[in-house]
């Protein structure tokens, strides 16, 4: 009786322990996701200029707010006159062109010599310049802005420009550019190319190992595939940098071999062990009775493989491919080392350099001040990467469920 009570207590304890671990893991994942999105979405409630700067205009200028699009048009000199304000010509004064504006105003020498070591004479000078140039737009630190100048609200960074913007320049001053489209497209392009190479080798090798390989070859091939899965990705990246990149440069006559093609080939090799191992398990899980029934009906071994084994194991093979895609999308160091790390829109040019979302986060997070626009923008990229991975997994789950239902 005591033994039964002890066994029951042990069973209840382990059930409670397993449930607690499951709940704790779920809560931890939820907390991580909430933290990611809380940091990332903070970008879209932030002003479109550095948080340490303010924008100011002439006190008579009717402008009280400048949206993000207008701000970038002003900084890019696409807008040169103020609407409804005496047709005044826009004169920009910011941290980048201050010395140039001083020379245009007739003041020669270094800004420190003209304005003082701490630029204490700058507000008076800007006040005088406002009188001469009423269309002036000043974007500087608040203590440099003249008292009579009128501060204007600067629009927030928009989600639309983040998703559709074609320029990623998060360190540009005074107004950074957070166009994540080159990063998103670079990730998609590298993933599609790597998946193409992986599909050429992965499922066929798995079929060979499960159905055709002689035992001596299988005993050698199986550990080799598993060994590839255990090699750190940075080692693959180093091999790609030393071997793959120079050869691509020579073969295609490029200035640099760090291209999309190099990333595709390297990531395909990284994803192959996962695809091969999981696909082989799915193929070996096909019931022996199905194979024997097919052979008994007069089908050859090849016909049985194509018409019986492959359709039955398709959900498992599809799951293997999705796991490989997840490995490709989330890969960081290897792709950072061989793709050129250049955020640009390249279309379908596989011989151009790109930067993926994961590579951007790894390369820039160390230099992004905590809480700043750059910091928040990288979390926003992380949110985009999370959503991309989630969509891929969701579509994969639906396809696997559909395949299983069709059996």
User: In this structure, what token pair is assigned to residue 378?
Assistant: 């990288």
Q: What mean pLDDT, rounded, does the chain reach?
A: 87
- Whether residue 320 is found in the same domain as residue 206: yes
pLDDT attached to residue 354: 93
For 275-297, write each residue's pLDDT tens digit. Answer: 999 999 889 988 888 888 888 88
Confirm whether 342 is domain-assigned: yes
Largest separation between any pair of C-alpha atoms in the chain:
102
Do strands 150-154 and 65-66 pair parallel, antiparallel, or not at all (unpaired)?
parallel
User: In this structure, what token pair is assigned to residue 143?
Assistant: 């203590």
Q: What is the CATH number of the domain that holds 371?
A: 1.10.3720.10
pLDDT attached to residue 356: 93
- Whether residue 266 is found in the same domain as residue 350: yes
pLDDT attached to residue 406: 66
Tell me how far apart the terminal alpha carbons of the chain are, to the nearest angstrom: 49
Tell me the residue range of the domain where 92 lies. 54-156
Higher pLDDT, 335 or 173: 335
Cis peptide before 174 (omega within 30 of 0): yes
Confirm whether 266 is domain-assigned: yes
User: What does the alpha-carbon distance between residue 268 and residue 257 come to, in Å, rounded to a whole number?
Assistant: 17
- Of residues 273, 261, 268, the one with CA closest to residue 197: 268
- CB of 197 closer than 8 Å to CB of 265: yes
- Whether residue 377 is found in the same domain as residue 325: yes
- Whether residue 90 is found in the same domain as residue 200: no
180 pLDDT more than 70: yes
pTM: 0.86
- Whether residue 76 is found in the same domain as residue 223: no
1 pLDDT more than 70: no
| Among candidate residues 120, 139, 156, the one where a domain is terminated | 156
For 389, what's the count of Cα atoms within 13 Å in the CB-facing half-sphere? 18
Banded pLDDT at 2 (limits 50, 70, 90): low
Banded pLDDT at 247 (limits 50, 70, 90): very high
Banded pLDDT at 383 (limits 50, 70, 90): very high
Q: How many domains does the chain have?
A: 2
pLDDT attached to residue 81: 86
- Whether residue 393 is found in the same domain as residue 278: yes
Banded pLDDT at 232 (limits 50, 70, 90): confident
- Whether residue 186 is found in the same domain as residue 335: yes
**Residue 55 dihedral angles phi and psi, to the nearest 5°:** -110, 135
pLDDT attached to residue 378: 93
Confirm whether 316 is domain-assigned: yes
| Among candidate residues 156, 190, 225, the one where a domain is terminated | 156
Confirm whether 48 is domain-assigned: no
Banded pLDDT at 109 (limits 50, 70, 90): low
**Residue 243 dihedral angles phi and psi, to the nearest 5°:** -105, -55
DSSP states of 2-34: HHHHHHHHHHHHHHHHHHHHHHHHHHHHHHHHH
Average pLDDT of the segment spanning 96-107:
76
Residue 372 region by backbone torsions, left for phi larger than 0, else alpha for psi between -120 and 50, else beta? beta
- Whether residue 134 is found in the same domain as residue 210: no
Confirm whether 327 is domain-assigned: yes
For 351-375, write each residue's pLDDT tens digit. Answer: 999 999 999 999 898 888 888 889 9
- CB of 203 closer than 8 Å to CB of 210: no
Please report, for residues 208, 250, 256, the alpha-carbon distance to residue 394 in angstroms, rounded to integers and kept in the order given: 30, 41, 37
265 pLDDT more than 90: yes
DSSP states of 337-401: HHSB------TT-TTS-B--HHHHHHHHGGGSPTTSHHHHHHHHHHHHHHHHHHHHHHHHHHHHH
- Whether residue 299 is found in the same domain as residue 197: yes
Confirm whether 393 is domain-assigned: yes
Confirm whether 166 is domain-assigned: no
Highest mean pLDDT among 35-39, 50-54, 86-90: 35-39
- Whether residue 339 is found in the same domain as residue 286: yes
Confirm whether 3 is domain-assigned: no
Interior/surface letters 278-297, b for 16+ CB within 10 angstroms, e for the rest: bbbebbeebeeeebeebeee
Banded pLDDT at 35 (limits 50, 70, 90): very high
Interior/surface letters 82-118, b for 16+ CB within 10 angstroms, e for the rest: beebeebebbbbbeeebeebbeeeeeeeeeeebbeee
6 pLDDT more than 80: no
User: What does the alpha-carbon distance between residue 139 and residue 95 come to, in Å, rounded to a whole number?
Assistant: 7
- Whether residue 84 is found in the same domain as residue 228: no
Average pLDDT of the segment spanning 50-62:
87
| Among candidate residues 141, 156, 171, the one where a domain is terminated | 156
Q: Which strands sit side by side in the sheet containing 91-94, from one edge to the other?
A: 65-66, 150-154, 54-57, 136-140, 91-94
- Whether residue 102 is found in the same domain as residue 225: no
User: In this structure, what token pair is assigned to residue 162?
Assistant: 């983040």
């Amino acid at each position: 009786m005591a033994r039964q009570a002890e066994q029951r207590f042990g069973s209840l304890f382990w059930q409670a322990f397993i449930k607690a671990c499951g709940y704790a893991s779920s809560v931890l994942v939820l907390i991580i996701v909430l933290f990611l999105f809380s940091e990332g979405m903070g970008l879209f409630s932030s002003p479109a200029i550095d948080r340490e700067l303010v924008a100011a205009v002439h006190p008579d200028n009717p402008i009280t707010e400048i949206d993000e699009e207008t701000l970038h048009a002003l900084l890019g000199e696409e807008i040169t006159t103020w609407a409804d304000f005496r047709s005044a010509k826009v004169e920009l004064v910011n941290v980048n062109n201050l010395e140039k504006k001083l020379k245009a105003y007739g003041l020669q020498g270094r800004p420190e010599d003209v304005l003082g070591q701490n630029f204490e004479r700058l507000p008076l000078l800007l006040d005088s310049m406002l009188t001469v140039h009423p269309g002036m737009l000043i974007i500087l630190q608040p203590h440099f802005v003249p008292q009579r100048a009128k501060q204007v609200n600067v629009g927030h960074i928009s989600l639309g420009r983040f998703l559709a913007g074609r320029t990623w320049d998060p360190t540009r001053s005074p107004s950074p550019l957070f166009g994540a489209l080159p990063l998103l497209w670079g990730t998609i392009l590298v993933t599609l190319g790597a998946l193409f190479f992986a599909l050429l080798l992965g499922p066929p090798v798995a079929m060979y190992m499960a159905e055709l390989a002689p035992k001596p070859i299988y005993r050698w091939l199986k550990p080799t595939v598993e060994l590839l899965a255990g090699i750190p990705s940075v080692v693959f990246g180093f091999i790609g940098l030393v071997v793959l990149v120079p050869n691509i440069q020579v073969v295609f006559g490029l200035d640099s071999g760090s291209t999309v093609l190099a990333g595709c080939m390297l990531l395909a090799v990284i994803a192959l062990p996962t695809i091969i191992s999981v696909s082989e398990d799915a193929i070996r899980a096909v019931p022996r009775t199905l194979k024997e029934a097919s052979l008994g009906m007069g089908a050859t071994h090849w016909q049985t493989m194509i018409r019986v084994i492959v359709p039955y194991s398709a959900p498992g093979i599809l799951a293997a491919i999705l796991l490989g895609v997840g490995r490709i999308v989330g890969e960081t160091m290897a792709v950072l080392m061989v793709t050129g790390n250049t955020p640009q829109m390249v279309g379908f040019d596989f011989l151009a350099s790109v930067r993926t979302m994961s590579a951007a986060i790894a390369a820039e997070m160390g230099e992004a001040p905590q809480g700043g626009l750059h910091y928040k923008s990288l979390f926003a990229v992380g949110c985009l990467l999370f959503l991309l991975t989630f969509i891929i997994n969701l579509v994969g789950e639906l396809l696997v469920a559909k395949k299983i239902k069709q059996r």
